[in-house]
Amino acid sequence: MPRTARDVVFVDGVRTPFGKAGPKGLYAQTRADDMVVRAIRELLRRNPSLPPERVDEVAVAATTQTGDQGLTIGRSAAVLAGLPKSVPGYAIDRMCAGAMTAVTTTGAGIAFGSYDVVIAGGVEHMGRHPMGEGVDPNPRFLAERLVDPSALVMGSTAENLHDRFPGITKERADAYAVRSQRKVAAAYAAGKIQPDLVPTAIRSAEKGWGLATDDEPPRPGTTLEDLAALKTPFRVHGNVTAGNAAGLNDGATACLLAAEDVAAELGLTPRMRLVDFAFAGVEPEVMGVGPVPATEKLLARNALTMDDIGLIEINEAFAVQVLAFLEHFKLADDDARVNPWGGAIALGHPLASSGVRLMNQLARLFGERPDVRFGLTTMCVGMGMGGTVLWENVNWEGSR
């Protein structure tokens, strides 16, 4: 039978507040699956016109799929969230781009006609499951020199980027990090971040039950002097510090995607339209440059240039990685289109969950910017990859 691709829309997205990984973090005694269940339930609560049985798939990403992040977490979280047992689910892993890949994979399924409505997201409890836990890299990687040894240490890959782009100094990276902290503080003060956050129950053996309502990682008073004094743990006299990189974090995200005609049928309000996506590979030892070829591929396929892009949400795994992207596309370090409400250096980066956080913020920004038609969400990915998604603003004034 002939098939026609359908338009895919982003209806809604939520996330738990992000916490600091470790024994003193918000979620130290909270399960990873309970975090993603909380996000899924909130999506259903916010969209009461959606019959739960109309959800065709639940795709949940986790980089470390073990313990409370194992057991095919998309399916187990769907059951725990109270969705009908008829709703299937699966787990997915593309390291930092896990949630992004959950969206692009299920979104492609909607376009193809296999799904009508899906839930996609990600979770990472880095306090319980540090990146690389239980991993046994094949010795051929190093014995046959398939990758540089530094490729397996993300901070070292960022130092390698500083080597490749000597014009990106530690001072520039620190200045970018300070701007990220300031933008997040301003966005919080203006109430821009809070609508995406799901108050999440937390428990401490010492303090009992509590409620996480705000992100834990931001340091709003950060100054250049503060960052200049930090150690460079990945290289003696290096450039990468805890201040110009995202921290180790816990958190979960989830979003609701649908075919545009089905969204109309169910009374769901679209916030942006999925146009296209691209992933690309680079040398693993400079994985931070991954967003560049992914974005180039995407723009070329859609006959667009960066001048056509009105908003860019790029994951701030490291300041140098963002600056390398900006430098390649000849954008200023403080280009107003880039992360207007700040990014992961301040908010945190719970690996597989972050792709949907980028989408949540872009969707909110689209709602305030009817003058903008196209936006990007983009991120670097461990083992040498990058991913970029092109979105169209359904509120674009040119379509009226």
Largest Cα separation within the chain, whole Å, is: 65
State the number of CA atoms in the 13 A half-sphere of 227 facing the CB: 28
- Half-sphere exposure at residue 282, Cβ-oriented, CA atoms within 13 angstroms: 23
Active-site positions read: 96, 349, 380
Q: Quick count: other Cβ atoms within 10 Å of Cβ 283? A: 15
β partners of residue 19:
250
For residue 333, the SS3 value is: coil
CB burial class (10 A; 0-12, 13-18, 19+) of residue 235?
middle
Determine the Cα–Cα distance for residues 344 and 317; give it in Å rounded to an integer: 7
- 140 burial (CB, 10 Å; 0-12 / 13-18 / 19+) is exposed
C-alpha closest to that of 250 among 39, 11, 13: 39
Q: Round to whole Å and give the CA distance between 258 and 381.
A: 26
Q: At what angle do helices 73-80 and 32-46 cross, to 10 degrees?
A: 60
